[in-house]
Amino acid sequence: MNLLTRRSFVTTTAAGLTALGTLAASPQDSQAQLVYTTSDWKVTAFNKIVHDPARIKQVYDVVAINEGRFLNNIKNSLNGLHFGFGIPAAQIKVVAALHGPANMLNYDDFIWSKYQIGAWLKVMDAATGKPAVRNPYFTSRTALHYTSQDPNSEGSLYEDKSIQALQSRGVTFLSCHTATEEQVRALVQHNNLSADPESIVREMLAHLIPEALSVASMVAAIALLQADGHYTYITV
């Protein structure tokens, strides 16, 4: 896990994007198109994340699924900050910025089943030993019911590294719209689909996991989280 400053990236990218943070466009339902403008997506919701008042703010830049190992890193961040350094949970904000193959973890079981995402991305379901036909990293193994409050116990929330559990601890998952558009076009070719790519994108956007937010461009979103929101940057 590398802690990077990305100063050059922030400086060059944020200069042309800073104005985005001040726009007050009304959030609308996401529309399928390659390039979003500010009226096409929920800018206001993203701005709330950027300007979250938490004392400690981290953005995880995640491209590879890598058996969901980044989820364990996020869990360790939350536990280390809260228990190890004494930061109140309410003063910790973590954002998971998923693009590349990891972007598909922002979509629900319907999408994983219908479009055979596991077979396409070579993601195996540990429960079946076969290519996943569901999002294998979303659902909590305990359905968010825990037998212990001891952070050292596998039966506690603090050792549950599912997306659902991390969301319950305040982690926000971002989906990259540009990645979705590009991935759908690749998926159409891979599965030899006849459907129009934009119709599939619209369907996917209707099947985001609960509370996930689709942003116009993840590399741009990360720049704003760093430059305007003062999030520290971590890539895994």
Question: pLDDT, tens digit, for every residue of 25-51?
Answer: 333 344 457 788 777 789 999 999 999
Whether 74 is covered by a domain: the verdict is no
d(CA 184, CA 196): 10
Tell me, what's the pLDDT at 187?
96
123 within domain boundaries = no
Dihedral (CA of 154, 157, 163, 166) sign: negative
Domains held by the chain: number: 1
Which pair of tokens denotes residue 87?
A: 């930061």
pTM over 0.75: yes
Residue 49 located in a structural domain: yes
Tokens encoding 48: 């709330």
Confirm whether 91 is domain-assigned. Answer: yes
**Residue position matching structure tokens 């050292």:** 152
pLDDT over 90 percentage in the chain: 82
* Domain ranges, residue 40: 31-58+83-95
Give the model's pLDDT for residue 11.
Answer: 40
Averaged confidence pLDDT in the chain = 88
Which residue is associated with the tokens 């007050």?
A: 24
46 in a structural domain: yes
Taking 60 as the threshold, does the pLDDT of residue 213 lie above it?
A: yes
Residue range 145-158, pLDDT digits in tens? 999 999 999 999 99
Is 41 a member of any domain? yes
**Any domain includes 152:** no
- 179 strand-pairing partners: none
pLDDT at 216 over 90: yes
For 88-145, the pLDDT digits (tens) are 999 999 999 999 999 999 999 999 999 999 999 999 999 999 999 999 999 999 999 9
For residue 172, tell me if it sits in a domain.
no
